[in-house]
Homo-oligomer: A and B are copies of this chain.
Amino acid sequence: MAVLASEAAPVLVSADQWRAMAQAGERYPMFAAERERVERELRAAMAAGIKVPQPRDLGGGLTHEQHKANYKAIAGAGALYRLTGDRAYADFARDLLLEYARLYPTLSNHPAGKSSVKGRLFWQALNDSVWLVYSAQGYDAIRDTLTADQRRRIDDDVFRRMARFLSEENAGYFDRIHNHATWATAGVGMTGYVLRDRTLVERALNGTARDGKAGFLRQVDELFSPDGYYAEGPYYQRYALAPFIIFARAIQQNEPARGIFKRRDGVLLKAVDAVIQSSYGGKLFPINDAMPDKGLDTEEIVTGVAIAYAQTRDAGLLSIAGQQGRTILSPDGLAVARGVAEGMAKPFDFRSMELRDGPNGDLGDLVFLRRGGADGQALVMKNTQQGQGHGHFDRLNWLFYDDGHAVVRDYGAARFLNVEAKGGGGYLDENDSWAMQTVAHNTLVVGEKSQFGADWRVGEAHPTKPLFFKAGKGLQIASARMDKAYEGVVLTRTLAMVEHPDLAYPVVVDLFRADARSPTTYDLPLHFNGHIITVFDAEHSVRERPVLGKDSGYQHLWVDAVAAPSSQSRGLTWLLGKRFYTYRFAASAPTSALLVESGANDPKFNLRREPALIQRMQGQAGASFFSVLEPHGAYDPTAETVSGATSQIRDIARARGEGAEVIVLTLASGKRLALGVADVASKTAAHAVRIDGQVYEWTGPYARFDH
């Protein structure tokens, strides 16, 4: 650790860096505003005085919240001392830490600890780790203001003890390859840098045995896919990201030779990019257990953007920072604030991409097809692995966004985060009974049961198999297969975003093929968002709404209307925001069409009430569902004008040939647009499908035809 100037000088952010921030900060409004915000919070904390209570409460309780407030105060006070030179801040952090030095050695396991790994300050060790990550930063900033005795007491009785508790004394926990353990490795490692304790650093990086089989580096290697995707999905990726990038930054500062941000082809920076890519309109795609209102403006992503910008100088990140409206008090935050103030921001490059899942990238993928930038079209196709216990039973699910809105949506988690009256603020029973179930998603339900028998551990053993992905000009397409979700059933879905001069916006073409060993019931839900404008002929349950089923999520669906089985294509048009959306759909055998709404069997009003269309085919073993979703027209409530309210797609048809299918869209103009999809994704196989006297011939997994 050659960079150290003295045994007490700051190491996580150097004294020179702090000075640069102190001098330049006022010039950049975003940095100055954050400094003011922290100053305001800290002044309030200082006015309230030193409070380091005996640990007692669960999460949300008084002692829990006080210890949480304290680590923020220690970190904030450290930063403000460096930025202002005002010793009052340093003294406040010192006094807090001296109180901890008095309290901490007296503690054993937290009295309310229910977690398998109890903390000492908090009910779970996770929170103790977070305390350490933030307090270490604050302590680093003020450590050279202390007397040798004060320093020794805080070093030994707070940081060294806590680091020992979180590593050696809980080695099983510390050595896990899991994002909770990353907070522990980060806390221990940063403590190691601050205390100049090489052993702690080594333990953090390579595990308690220091052999590299555990520890932070192994976590970096295994917890993200090569594309930076995190197995549980964007909502948890946001959360998991924080300790990775915070500790990585500390490593970069102290041991740049490790090239931590270059590790695995820059996987940590890819992870920051991936989480931003996994958003629309500032909100993260709510796949798996996710709160749909969680967005890019969270603390974790603010931190991620700053640290990534400092490494990459990607001007697109500045526009994200601009939307976030804040940054952090660090050299990286200063760089962001300066970039924004100097007008360097460029639109973030939201682009089509395939995020491979799994440490080696061979456990499926999450696909984004995009067009038209941040407010344009975005299609998400979920071909991932299960996503552990927070994963939903929704392989081959898709979402669609347009013009700022979720048009085809995902319920996310059934939860009111931290709202005590709603199941204590945790996951509600309806998260299991509805939100996780297959029917709550836009993917095929076989036999009215959820995928993998609704057992996530079974799902975890079976990744989805991507067949192809291509983001071409005018045609973007992705396809994947799942053959283990249901015993003896092969599910293959191909989704394409197609452009055509006669169509105002790209349309989505969907071909969902199922092959079972014996006849069964197939249900294909579409959770659309908007007010129905025109609907296919159906029997309407206008005076009594039956419930659709008894379990697997069906018990939560009211039936509004049922259209009897038919082979004809049907259309459903809805209005959302300022656009119309027409979904035209049909299948290879007669299907009925049900309009349903969530909210049945919900005496506590835990569910949102949202509509869905379900296509139901019964008594078939093999089935193809094919459809097109078309955004069209403009509804302007201010000018009171409406245009393009009628779909420009007249019909949809489909034919099956030897090992391939073709879907044909007939446009209002009379032009035709066809998409051929082969069963097997071979680049060299030739296919020919005849439909209405026309023969479509191509070589390869898919082809587009215009005539």
Q: In the complex, A535 Cα to B543 Cα: how many Å?
A: 25
Chain B residues whose C-beta falls within 8 Å of the C-beta of A152 in the assembled complex: none
* Contact yes or no, A605 B543, CB < 8 A: no
Contact of A178 with B by CB under 8 A: no
On whether the beta carbons of A545 and B542 are closer than 8 Å, the reply is no
Cβ contacts under 8 Å, A635 to chain B: 419
Q: Does any Cβ of B come within 8 Å of A475's Cβ?
A: no
Contact A299 B639, CB 8 Å, known A416-B575, A546-B544, A645-B419: yes
Q: Does A26 contact B (CB under 8 A)?
A: no
Complex alpha-carbon distance, A527 and B294, angstroms: 28
Q: Which of A165-173, A595-603, A661-669 contacts B (4 or more CB under 8 A)?
A: A595-603
Interface assignment of A641: CB less than 8 Å from any CB of chain B: yes
Known contacts: A545-B545, A545-B558, A605-B535. The answer to whether A417 contacts B640 by CB under 8 A is yes
Q: Are A602 and B542 in contact (CB-based, < 8 A)? A: yes
Which DSSP category, helix, strand, loop or mixed, fits chain A's interface?
loop
User: Which residues of chain B are within 8 angstroms of A293 by Cβ–Cβ distance?
Assistant: 637
* Cβ contacts A638-665/B at 8 Å (1 or 0 each): 1111100100000000000000000000
Q: Which of A49-57, A216-224, A420-428 contacts B (4 or more CB under 8 A)?
A: A420-428
Distance of A421 Cα from B642 Cα, bound (Å): 11
Given A291-B637, A605-B531, is A420 in contact with B645 using a C-beta cutoff of 8 Å?
Answer: yes
Bound together, the chains give a CA A406 to CA B600 distance in angstroms of 26
Complex Cα distance, B547 from A601, in Å, reads: 17
Tell me whether A637 and B545 are in contact (CB under 8 A): no
Once the chains bind, are A297 and B575 in contact (CB under 8 Å)? no
Q: Do B543 and A642 have beta carbons less than 8 Å apart?
A: no
- Name the B residues within 8 Å of A533 (CB-CB): 416, 419, 421-422
* Residue in B417, B542, B600 whose beta carbon sits within 8 Å of that of A542 in the complex: B600
Assess whether A637 is in contact with B547, with CB atoms less than 8 Å apart. Answer: no
Decide if A58 is an interface residue (CB 8 Å cutoff). Answer: no
Taking the closest CB of chain B, its distance from the CB of A607, in whole angstroms, is 9
- Whether B645 and A421, one on each chain, are in contact in the complex, defined by CB atoms closer than 8 angstroms, is yes
CB-contacts of A252-304 with B (<8 A): 291, 293-295, 297-299
State how many angstroms separate the Cβ of A562 from the closest Cβ of chain B.
12
When distances are taken between beta carbons in the complex, the residues of chain B under 8 Å from A422 are: 533
Q: Does A573 contact B (CB under 8 A)?
A: yes
**Chain A 531-576 residues near chain B, CB threshold 8 A:** 531-535, 540, 542-547, 558, 560-561, 573, 575
Residue A604 lies at the interface, judged by CB distance under 8 Å to chain B: yes
CB under 8 Å from chain B, chain A span 408-437: 416-422, 425
Contact between B294 and A638 (Cβ–Cβ < 8 Å)? yes
Asked if A608 is at the interface of the complex by the 8 Å CB criterion, the answer is: yes
Q: Per-residue 0/1 for A170-209: is the Cβ within 8 Å of any B Cβ (1 yes, 0 no)?
A: 0000000000000000000000000000000000000000
- List 15 other contacts, CB 8 Å, given A291-B637, A542-B600, A544-B544: A294-B637, A294-B638, A295-B638, A297-B638, A298-B639, A299-B639, A416-B531, A416-B575, A418-B642, A419-B575, A419-B642, A421-B534, A542-B601, A544-B546, A545-B545
Please give me the 7 A-B residue pairs with the lowest Cβ-Cβ distance, nearest first: A532-B605, A540-B603, A293-B637, A418-B642, A542-B601, A421-B534, A421-B533
